[in-house]
Amino acid sequence: MERDKKYLELLLVFGEILVAIIIIVTVIVSSFQTLIMISGMIKISYPNKSDILELIDMAILLLLALDLLRTVIVGIAERQIPVKNIIEAAMIVIVREMIVNTLMNGSPLYLIYLSISFLMISLAFIFISKFIKD
């Protein structure tokens, strides 16, 4: 029984390390793609709205990937799930959706839903920060 538990823990750590490696490779590739996109925009006198939206979207996704990488690394090191980091990632995702919705002239009702979601997640973050000590 104890032996099976050790194998399971080892398998879990291996899986977390594999996820971290995949995120690192994704961030590196996306960073190069972003640099290429910026250099292409510099050549054009006035970048169009979709290029700017794509650049902002890529930058926010890179931030999200880095935040997830931090969460995985902290989880491996401390052998526990850092809930505050997961909530921060959720906040980044909602802000990204708000920006995309605004730039694409999306539905005002959808923006209200996103705002309510962001408020609820912010309250959860405050609650966890106040009542759960690291």
43-91 per-position pLDDT tens digit: 666 767 777 777 777 777 777 777 777 777 777 777 777 777 778 888 8
DSSP string, 46-95: S--HHHHHHHHHHHHHHHHHHHHHHHHHHHHHHTS--HHHHHHHHHHHHH
pLDDT at 64: 77
pLDDT at 47: 67
Which structure tokens are listed for 118? 């962001």
Closest CA to 71 of 52, 58, 57, 87: 87
Residue 78 and residue 60: Cα distance in Å, rounded? 27
13-45: pLDDT as tens digits: 777 777 777 777 777 877 787 777 777 767 666
Closest CA to 97 of 76, 80, 121: 121
- Mean pLDDT for the chain overall: 77
| pTM exceeds 0.85 | no
DSSP string, 21-33: HHHHHHHHHHHHH
Tell whether the model's pLDDT for residue 134 goes beyond 60.
no
Residues 92, 63 contacting (CB under 8 angstroms):
yes
Which structure tokens are listed for 82? 């850092």
